[in-house]
């Protein structure tokens, strides 16, 4: 125990088990030791401990990390409250009483806040790297499908044709925003809480600028009361994970739809599919379904911590121990889901000609026909009505745009002439797009080139 001098009785065993966090905060051991070495070096710099004592502490801490990494030292969760007490106890076993000087001027309150900031900073970099991997995979798939025409949807009804490459580039934009979001998380947490103590700083001449610089922070935090109770950076990280997971869930939903017998658009690799224990013919998109399902848990993690924080008075309260499990879970789940998305995209087979025949006579070019009428000088609202009449005329006869004649169009409305039917050809539909950001193949190719430069 790192406390207990004023207590007459030891902590009840069940109370100890209830309050112990070692089972999950051991994940912070690397950051805990990194912060402790920086703190010890600062204590040596300001003359609170000697250079020799710092050397002993540093060597001991590095040994502990090595022992934990190679499995020769695994702290017993029934013996220690948390990662901090486990490390300090082991350090005492290695270097003796000098270990007791490490905690000088430091509380577990500022220690854990520093640990978590260091951990999140590292994990933001890992996630950004995974997002880049996903972008590269999606981009390769897009490059191979610039001529693959698919229906674009609104309200889950066919709306207008797009290319599959254009569709995939939408996810490239989502992933790019995700990268920026995690970069913003790193920017916001870039202040060191170390040296804030329990809540009111220290009477010792601690050099907070030294430890801040040593740990790679921009500056020390301004207010020690806020420093030890602030968990905004965790909420920011959880929010970034939640938004990123929502994007993956949308992709997963499309994977599920595209792989059905009704859509027949993609075939998932066996590597990312499962079978049925009863039905031999089944090939299920379980990785996509699990991604969709796990999204709820990540959203719940954000709500869980936000609910914990909302009623807490300043400064530190033990409730904040509940910040770590949702944090670790969201990172682990989201990072694994990113790998699944990349894996599915890298190995999927695309039925490139799936929609060509269906879209050739489909009503998804109705807006194009209305645009043609607008170019004849007719107000769009009137053009909308005219095309609606054309659609009604064809539906009543069980026909579509594929076989309507110029004469029929003219009989419906004299605004039409023979050139109108050219706007009803699916193979040239995308080339007619004029606006930047549309699925015009030239714009799509330019965006692919631009993404290649960004990801290089």
Q: Rounded to whole angstroms, how far apart are CA atoms 125 and 219?
A: 20
Sorted by sequence, the CB contacts under 8 Å of residue 155 that are 6+ apart come out as none
**Is 155 annotated as catalytic?**
yes
Tokens encoding 343: 């894996």
Using only C-alpha atoms, the chain has a radius of gyration, in whole angstroms, of: 30
Q: Would you call the peptide bond into 315 cis, given omega within 30 degrees of 0 as the criterion? A: yes
Cα end-to-end span (Å), the chain:
51
Contact between 114 and 35 (Cβ < 8 Å): yes
User: Which among 72, 155, 261, 277 is annotated as catalytic?
Assistant: 155
Q: Rounded to whole angstroms, how far apart are CA atoms 6 and 20?
A: 20
Q: Rounded to whole angstroms, how far apart are CA atoms 449 and 168?
A: 14
Residue 448 region by backbone torsions, left for phi larger than 0, else alpha for psi between -120 and 50, else beta: alpha
- Kindly report the backbone phi and psi dihedral angles of residue 194, in degrees, each rounded to the nearest multiple of 5, phi listed first: -60, 130
* Residues forming a β-bridge with 158: 153
**Is 276 annotated as catalytic?**
yes
Q: Rounded to whole angstroms, how far apart are CA atoms 382 and 434?
A: 22
User: Which among 276, 418, 419, 445 is annotated as catalytic?
Assistant: 276
Q: Rounded to whole angstroms, how far apart are CA atoms 448 and 168?
A: 10
Q: Which residues are catalytic?
A: 155, 276
């Amino acid at each position: 125990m790192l406390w207990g001098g004023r207590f007459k009785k030891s902590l009840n065993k069940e109370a100890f088990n209830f309050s112990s966090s070692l089972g999950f905060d051991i994940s912070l051991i690397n950051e805990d030791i990194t912060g402790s070495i920086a703190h010890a070096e600062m204590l040596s710099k300001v003359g609170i401990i000697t250079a020799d004592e710092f050397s002993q502490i540093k060597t001991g801490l590095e040994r502990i990390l090595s022992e934990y990494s190679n499995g020769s030292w695994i702290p017993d969760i029934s013996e220690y409250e948390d990662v901090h007490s486990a490390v300090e106890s082991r350090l005492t076993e290695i270097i003796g009483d000098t270990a007791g000087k490490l905690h000088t001027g430091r509380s577990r309150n500022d220690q854990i806040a520093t640990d978590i900031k260091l951990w999140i900073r590292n994990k933001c970099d890992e996630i950004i790297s995974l997002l880049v991997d996903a972008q590269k995979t999606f981009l390769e798939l897009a490059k191979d499908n610039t001529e693959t025409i698919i229906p674009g949807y609104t309200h889950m009804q066919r709306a207008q044709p797009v290319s599959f490459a254009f569709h995939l580039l939408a996810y490239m934009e989502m992933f790019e925003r995700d990268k920026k979001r995690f970069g913003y998380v790193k920017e916001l947490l870039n202040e060191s809480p170390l040296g804030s103590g329990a809540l009111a700083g220290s009477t010792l001449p601690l050099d907070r600028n030294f430890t801040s610089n040593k740990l790679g922070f921009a500056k020390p935090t301004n207010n020690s009361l806020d420093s030890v109770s602030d968990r905004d950076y965790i909420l920011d990280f959880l929010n970034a994970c939640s938004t990123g997971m929502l994007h993956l869930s949308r992709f997963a939903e499309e994977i599920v739809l595209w792989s059905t017998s009704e859509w027949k658009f993609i075939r998932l690799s066996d590597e990312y599919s499962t079978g049925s224990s009863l039905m031999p013919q089944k090939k299920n998109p379980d990785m996509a379904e699990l991604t969709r399902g796990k999204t709820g848990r990540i959203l719940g993690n954000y709500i869980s911590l936000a609910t914990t924080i909302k009623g807490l008075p300043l400064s530190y309260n033990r409730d904040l121990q509940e910040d770590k499990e949702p944090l670790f879970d969201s990172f682990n789940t989201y990072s694994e889901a990113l790998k699944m998305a990349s894996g599915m995209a890298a190995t999927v087979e695309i039925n490139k000609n799936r929609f060509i025949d269906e879209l050739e006579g489909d009503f998804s070019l109705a807006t194009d026909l209305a645009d043609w009428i607008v170019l004849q000088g007719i107000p769009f609202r009137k053009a909308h009505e005219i095309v609606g009449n054309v659609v009604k005329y064809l539906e009543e006869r069980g026909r579509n745009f594929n076989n309507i004649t110029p004469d029929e169009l003219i009989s419906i409305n004299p605004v039409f002439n023979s050139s109108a039917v050219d706007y009803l050809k699916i193979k040239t539909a995308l080339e007619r797009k004029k606006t930047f950001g549309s699925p015009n193949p030239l714009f799509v190719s330019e965006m692919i080139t631009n993404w290649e430069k960004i990801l290089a």
